[in-house]
Every structure is written in C-alpha cells, then in structure tokens.
Structure 1
Amino acid sequence: MREISCVDTGAPAPDCSSFQAARQALADMDRSAAELDPYRDEPPQMKSGSVGKLGYLRLDFRRDENLGRTVLADLDRRAPMIAQKALYWEESQPDMACVITITSTGCVVQGDRMALDVHARRNSRALVTTQSATKVHVMDHNHACQLQRFHLEEGSWLEYVPDPLILHRHSRYVQDTWVTLPESACFLYGEMLVPGRRWHHREELFGFDLYSAGFHVCRSDDEAPLFEERLVLEPDGTNFCSAAVMDGFEVFGSMFALVPETLADALVRDAGAAVTDDLAWGALRLPEHAGAAFRVLGHGVESVRRKMREFHSLVRERALGRPLPPDFLWR
C-alpha cells in the first residue's frame, strides 16, 4: 500500500467539458499512470476504449430563480454512462436537485474508460449519486479507468456520494478526481471501497491486482492544487487485514468536506476520532485551509455507511442549518 499526500504533480487540471476533450484527458491519464504498466495488454474481445467502452457524462446544474430551485440545465452522455432526470427528494433541502447516474452495462469490465464532468453554477445546490454499487469485474487483460471532474462556482453547493466500489479479484482500477472551487463554494465527496465479494471465492477478499485513486483540489484551473492525494493499493499476497495495515477491518470509507476554514474546525472537533470493535474513524484538517477529511474503517458496508452518513449529516447541519433527513427504508 502506498499513500502520497500533499504533493504537487505539476500536471494541469484535465478538460472534460466535451466528449472529445474527455477522451483525450482519459488517454493522457492512462498514459501517465506508471502503476498501470503491467496491465496494458489489449483485451481479445474488444479493444479498450472502443465504442460502448468509452463512457462520458456531463451534468450542468443552474439555479432557476423563477422556480426557486436548482435545475439540471444541460446533459451530455455516451453509453454506458447515463443519468436520470433531476428529482427533489431531499426534504430538508427542497431546492436541491438530485441526480442518479447509471452504468447501462451494470458493471465495469476490462478496457472500460469513463469520464464524469459535473458543473455547479453560481448559487446552485445539487446532489449526485449512483443507482447502485459500482462492481469492477474480474480481469485477465488490461484495466479500467475513470476520470472525475467537478467545477463549482461562487456560492454553489455540490455533493457527490456514490454507492460502494466493489473490487472483484484480479481487477485493476484507476480513478482520478479533480475539483475546482472558489472559497465561497462547498463540495462534499464520499467514497467507500469494498475489497471483494467476501463470501464469493476464497481468493476474493483483497484479491484485486490494483486500485489507484487520486484526488486533486484547485481554486482555479490555471493555479497549482491546494493539495493532492493518491492512494495506491497493490495487495500481491500482502495480508491487508494485519495489524500494521487494516488491523482486521475490511471496508474503507473516505469523505472530503471542502468548506470554509471556520466550518472545518467545527467538523473536525464534532466528528472526533475513536476505535471500537466494529469501527475506527477520525477527522483531520486538510492542507491550505481547504476543509476537512473523514476516514472510516469497518467490518461491513452497513456500519461504515452509517458512520459516513453521520458525518454527511453533520456537514449539512453546520453549513446549511439542517441535518440529513431520514434515509429511505430500502437503503
């Protein structure tokens, strides 16, 4: 396991504002990821990044003063990435547009290349999530990549909290997330990593070949990042549940609350840190007054999800004045 924090790669923020630009950005990302070098052989079934394996989704949220709420003003998509229309299920924030993204193939397979571009215009409020868990299937050739780009304008509020990412055995998955936002905007990003289908196969738990995830935050596209982080996991026979790594825990949850400095102090204080039989969690300040991060380790998805939801609700309450409403019964 390798984690690189607070580093400056010197790479400019990628352009995902159109399908053609995103395709080039994905190619650049793929080419620059040295950890992918052992996994560049082409799949025999379909060439990597070919039609149907090169997904693109752009969402553009704007505040409609006549309606008194945020609307999904523009959308562009290429299969297998699609999205439902904006709904308004957040009872505590009735002006917040909520969009569910969908992968029409139902999973991620070798050779897939995906790009997501989300733009939150001035004073808009939006939540983006996924229809279900992202399942990265078994691979024997090549790898899969996803590039995520989030732009926020003055006074905007954006949340991206997808369902868990499940890495099947021998999967190779690289993800890069870039965020650009001014000091007056707020962005909440969450992700949960599940290292395999626990009861499916004796080699499934931490049986993936590679997981690499980068997170970069900028004030503007032409400025150096406030901070960058990359987590590279290559189990290769390592016992990730040992005391020196996960200490018996299996599921890893992470949230970034990119909020003003005064809010970050309160979030770190109120979220706290603790280790119990079921969970270990803690909050910390991000570099350059960028906000707060929250990390959770647990034995199962549900306990980690509940703890992450507590932090999500805390961010909402401190920043918007109201906590999250009760979760849906089927969640």
Structure 2
Amino acid sequence: MTQLSSRTRAELARLALARLGQAPELRDYQDEPAQMPSGIVGKNGYLRLEFAKRGDRSVLSFMDRRVPFLAQRPLYWDEAMPEMPCVFIITTTGCLLQGDRMALEIEVGKDAAAHVTTQSATKVHMMNANYASQMQDIVVEEGGYLEYMPDPLIPHRTSRFLSHTRISIAERGSLLYSEVVLPGRKYHHKDELFGFDLYSSTIEATRRENNVRLFVEKFIVDPRATDLSRTGIMNGYEVFGNVILLTEKEKALQTLQAADAAVDKEARLAYGASLLPGDCGVVFKVLGMTSESVRGKIREFWQIARRIVAGRDLPQAFLWQ
C-alpha cells in the first residue's frame, strides 16, 4: 500500500490542510493565535493507518504519525469478529486548539477488516483566534471492511472547526462511518448551548476503480447567523448523529429495508434512513437530546448493517459507553 514515502505523505497532507483553510466559511478566522502560529510542529498532527489481510486475520501493517496524533496498538477485543483489529486513536493534547491542523489517513487493503475509534470525545476548545481543522482520507479496497466510529465531537463556545472527509471505496468494499455532534458543554455555562462560532463538515466519496464521484454532503453550521432550533434544522433537538454505510447495492437495499424510522416523542428522538445516490449505500440520521440516546440508536443501525454486510453480530457494549 505504501508507495510514497512517509515524509512525502505527511507533506501532502499539510498542503491539503492549507487548501482547506481557503474555504469561504473560514474567511473571518484567518488571524493567527498569539500563543503559537497555526500548523507548526506540535499543532500539525498526522496519522496514517494501513490494514492488511495476513492469514486468517487482519493486522495493522503500517503506521506513521506526527504529534499530537497517536494510536494504541491494535487489540482483538471484538468477540463477534475476532479476526478484526480494533484501534483507538489518541490526541496527546486532549483536545483540539486554535491553529491545530490534523490529518488522518486510513487504508484498508484487499479483504482486510478494521475497526477504528477514539479513546474519548473530541473536544474543540474555546478560541479567540483562527480555527481548527481536520482532514480525513479513507481508502477501502476490494473486499475490505472498515468501521470508523469515533466518539462524539464537542465544540466548546466560540470554537471554529472544519472537517473534510474524502472516501475512496471499491465496488465490493464496505465502510460504516459515523459522526455525532453535541451542542457544547450545556451544563458548564449558560452560553455553551450552540455557543460555538462555526462547525463545517464535508464528506465526499468516489469509486476506487474509476474515481467516479458517488456523493458529496456538506454541513455549515453558524449559530450566530441561523436559529438552530427551528424546523428543518434541529427542530428543538440538541444532538446530531450522522451515519453513512457504503457497500454493495443489494446489501444497501437490505439495510434500508431493515432500518427503522420514527419520531419518538417519549424518547425525544427522531431518526430515519435513505438511499445514497446510485444505491451505493445508506445514510442514517438521528436527532436527540442526549449523546447516550443518539448513540444507542446508532448502535441499533450498526447492528443491522454489520449483520447484513459482514454476517456478524455486535459484541456487548462497554459498560462506560
């Protein structure tokens, strides 16, 4: 998999992050922090994970990193898929700060499988200058299976965060991708509830064999400019969950048929699924009032998707989750 040198890959990621900074929604946040300039050593994180099939199980075959990114050694704790390595991503700073530029690359080789998550929620710290950004490049080769399911993102008040995810997936590859966004530390301060300045997220996917674009989805959330509680946006809910399953057409159709959709007033949840363009997969969205309830509904969808795509069940949830 690794054809370019580690130094070259890290430099290409740095340049791509610099181009992300030209996004129109960031034009008001180009001032440099007084403490440390943006994107310098210690604020320019890079992590590359490559997974390959070795005998009867998959392994983490290559890793490269730059602080503050770190990854724990792969564990095989998933009793339902004991051949699949599970990797926890860590940021040694404990949060994202103004001027941080983070690049994550995950590549799953032919017939390999992997589960990647984070050690805890990603906290985007308060800011008075600049912004934080993260670029995620995900590649899934033929027969590959990846679950990328990080813990929730918590944007603190006055924070600015931009995320750009690029997916390249083979026609017979499968990816389950999720993101959960909280409204801030609503019990910490009266101004924390949707008190962040900007949240921007772009997810785009292309077909591995021919580079044909499958879909693009982009959110730009500016609470100062838009009332997020109104109908058509959050409609009074506070936590947003977004799950994307990319897989073969028949499996996507089966997943859609098995997925539920409802407005549950008692549980204060609203959720539903729909097909992605070209029947390349399914998108499942959840609105709720708590992280626990939204993640619980995502877990139900995860169970459906894994059973159909991989023919396996989920292990028991960790007690702390």
TM-score (norm 2): 0.95
Partner of 2:221: 233
Q: 1:313 aligns with which of 303, 311, 317?
A: 303
Aligned equivalents of 1:188 and 1:78: distance in 2? 26
| Secondary structure of the structure 1 residue equivalent to 2:28 | helix
Matched, 1:302 2:274: no
2:271, 2:286 within 8 Å by CA — same for their partners in 1? yes
2:272 corresponding residue in structure 1: 282
Paired residue secondary structure (1:95): coil
Looking at both structures, which has the greater relative contact order when contacts are Cα pairs under 8 Å and sequence separation is at least 6?
1
Determine whether 1:81 maps to 2:73.
Answer: no
State the SS of the aligned residue for 2:253: helix
How far apart, in 2, do the equivalents of 1:87 and 1:17 lie?
29
Larger deviation: 319-328 or 291-300?
319-328
SS at match of 2:256: helix
Pick aligned residue for 2:42 from 52, 64, 82: 52
Q: Which whole-Å CA distance do the structure 1 matches of 2:8 and 2:305 have between them?
A: 29
What is residue 179 of structure 1 aligned with on the other side?
Answer: 167
* Secondary structure at the counterpart of residue 98 of structure 2: coil
Q: Out of 91, 101, 107, which is 1:119 matched to?
A: 107
The amino acid that maps onto 2:76 is Y
Match of 2:81 among 86, 89, 93: 93
Q: 2:209 & 2:38 partners in 1: Cα distance?
A: 29
Contact 1:143 1:173 in 2 (8 A): yes
Instruction: Give secondary structure in 1 for the equivalent of 2:21.
Output: helix
Alignment of 1:25 with 2:19, yes or no, is no
Q: CA deviation at 1:30?
A: 1.5
Identity %: 47
Task: Answer whether contact 2:105 2:138 (CA < 8 A) is retained.
Answer: yes
1:214 aligns with 2:231: no
Letter in 1 for 2:106: V
Paired letter, 2:41: V
Alpha-carbon contact 2:171-2:208 (below 8 Å) kept: no
1:221 deviates by 8.2
Q: In the aligned structure 1, how far is the partner of 2:116 from the partner of 2:24? A: 30
**Structure 2: tracts of 5 or more residues without a match:** 1-5
Cα distance between partner residues in 1 of 2:163 and 2:210: 22
Structure 1's 114 and 222: CA in aligned 2 closer, same or farther, altered over 3 A? farther
Worse overlay, 110-119 or 230-239 = 230-239
Note the C-alpha offset of 1:237.
5.8
Q: C-alpha distance in 1, partners of 2:219/2:103?
A: 19
- Counterpart mapping for 1:183-262 below 5 A: 183-220=171-208, 223-236=211-224, 238-262=226-250
Aligned residue for 1:4? Answer: none
Query: Following the alignment from structure 1 to structure 2, what is the Cα–Cα distance between the partners of residues 72 and 17?
Result: 21
Cα distance change, pair 232–132 in 1 and its aligned pair in 2 (3 A): same
After TM superposition, the structure 1 stretch with the greater mean CA deviation from structure 2, 16-25 or 277-286, is 16-25
Question: Aligned equivalents of 2:189 and 2:225: distance in 1?
Answer: 15
Separation of aligned partners in 2, 1:109 and 1:71 = 32
Give the SS at the match of 1:150: strand
Which of 321, 324, 330 matches 2:314? 324
Write the distance in 2 (CA, Å) between the matches of 1:57 and 1:329.
28
Q: Within 2, Cα distance between the matches of 1:115 and 1:25?
A: 9
Give the Cα separation in 2 of the matches to 1:207 and 1:238: 12
Structure 1 ranges of 4+ moved more than 6 A: none
The aligned residue for residue 93 of structure 2 is 105
* CA displacement 1:92-145 (0-9 Å, x = unmatched): 001001000000000001000000000101110000000000000111100000
The secondary structure found in structure 2 opposite 1:230 is strand
Cα pair 1:129 1:160 within 8 Å, conserved: yes
1:242 Cα shift? 2.9
Match of 2:15, SS?
helix
CA shift in 2, pair 1:306/1:138, >3 Å: same
Find the residue that maps to 1:88 and give its secondary structure. Answer: coil
Q: Is the 8 A contact 1:16 1:115 kept in 2?
A: no
Q: Is the 8 A contact 1:16 1:22 kept in 2?
A: no
Q: 1:134 to 1:233 in 2, by over 3 A?
A: same
CA apart distance, 1:220: 2.9
3-state secondary structure, aligned to 2:130:
coil
Amino acid at match of 1:25: A
CA shift at 1:183, angstroms?
0.8
Q: Is the 8 A contact 2:170 2:209 kept in 1?
A: no
Question: Aligned partners of 1:242 and 1:119: how far apart in 2?
Answer: 39
